[in-house]
Amino acid sequence: MTEVFPFLETLNQIPGVRAGWVERVPDLPITGDRDEAMRQLRPLHEAAVSNFGGPSSTWWRAEQIHGNSVALVPGSPQIIAPDGLPVVPGVDGLITRTTATVLAIYVADCGAIWLADRKTGAIALLHSGKKGTESNILGNALETMARQFGTCPQDVTAVLGPCIRPPDYETDFAAEIGNQANEAGLGNFIDCELNTASDGARFYSYRKELGKTGRMMALIVRDFLP
């Protein structure tokens, strides 16, 4: 489930960085709310993370409250989510410079943003939908990376994954993320330009499926530092 995707190729070409993406799970009917969907997906996503990160890796997730806060991991406090696994409370983004630390973010119309600092080795993974984009979680993450690790925006490669877009959604937050990336002076920003609402065979879409849907999973890890 973590096969190579073309839109992640630029990230995966950075020495020491691996980025992954888990799309819709075929033949898994989901008819409940988010918590029930996450319980159904848990064993499949755990297997995907184990395959992606390896047996010695640790797995960190964000609570995802549609805000702009980010957390440095490992070391941040955690709570237990409804699916029985730990999450960092109150945040929508995770940052690390620790090897073998898998960052995971879930989306079903919101955008996942992968970030990799080619110079310092810092990586991040963000959940940015309408609200997170309005409050500029991307800018907040870059500021945190600069403060914690000395990251300069021109050394960062960023990728925006599949998310809902016009005409299926009234707000083009993907375009605004691109504007924010330009304003921040990112060295390399890639928008995959895929619309989650336009391909029900590949993607879960909260809007199209009226909330009764699963979640895709974005992953990133550092195997070694530059």
Angle, helix 137-149 to helix 173-184, in steps of 10 degrees: 30
Locate 5 and state its tokens: 């995707």
Residue 78 falls inside a structural domain: yes
Residue 1 falls inside a structural domain: no
Q: Look at 29-38, 129-138, 161-170 and tell me which has the smallest mean pLDDT.
A: 29-38
Domain count within the chain: 1
**Model pLDDT, residue 3:** 65
On average, the pLDDT of the chain sits at 96
Query: Is 218 within 8 Å of 196 (Cβ atoms)?
Result: no
Residue 38 falls inside a structural domain: yes
The H or E element that residue 43 is part of is helix 34-53
Residue 22 falls inside a structural domain: yes
- Kindly tell me the sign of the dihedral angle through the C-alpha atoms of 129, 11, 40, 82: negative
**Model pLDDT, residue 224:** 96
Q: Is the pLDDT of residue 76 over 90?
A: yes
Residue 29 falls inside a structural domain: yes
**How far is Cα 211 from Cα 188, in angstroms, rounded to an integer?**
34
Q: Is the pLDDT of residue 44 over 60?
A: yes
- Domain enclosing residue 92, as ranges: 6-222
Residue 207 falls inside a structural domain: yes
Residues of the chain with pLDDT > 90, as a percent, come to 93
**How far is Cα 2 from Cα 19, in angstroms, rounded to an integer?**
9
Locate 119 and state its tokens: 């110079």
In this prediction the pTM is 0.97
Q: What CATH number has the domain bearing residue 175? A: 3.60.140.10
DSSP the chain: -----GGGHHHHTSTTEEEEEE---TT----S-HHHHHHHHHHHHHHHHHHHH-TT-EEEEB---SS--EEESSSS--EE-TTSSEEBTT-SEEEE--TTEEEEEEESSSEEEEEEETTT--EEEEEESHHHHHTTHHHHHHHHHHHHH---GGGEEEEE--B--TTSSS--HHHHHHHHHHHHT-SEEEE---BGGG-TTT---TTTTTT----EEEEEEESS--
Q: Is the pLDDT of residue 59 over 60?
A: yes
> For the segment 88-141, what is each residue's pLDDT rounded down to a tens digit?
999 999 999 999 999 999 999 999 999 999 999 999 999 999 999 999 999 999
Residue 45 falls inside a structural domain: yes
Q: Is the pLDDT of residue 178 over 60?
A: yes
**Model pLDDT, residue 4:** 74
The H or E element that residue 87 is part of is strand 86-87
**Model pLDDT, residue 1:** 46
**Model pLDDT, residue 31:** 84
Q: pLDDT: is 2 or 143 the higher one? A: 143
Residue 20 falls inside a structural domain: yes
DSSP 2-14: ----GGGHHHHTS
Q: Is the pLDDT of residue 211 over 60?
A: yes
**Model pLDDT, residue 32:** 85
The H or E element that residue 139 is part of is helix 137-149
Locate 126 and state its tokens: 């963000």
3-state DSSP assignment of residue 162: coil
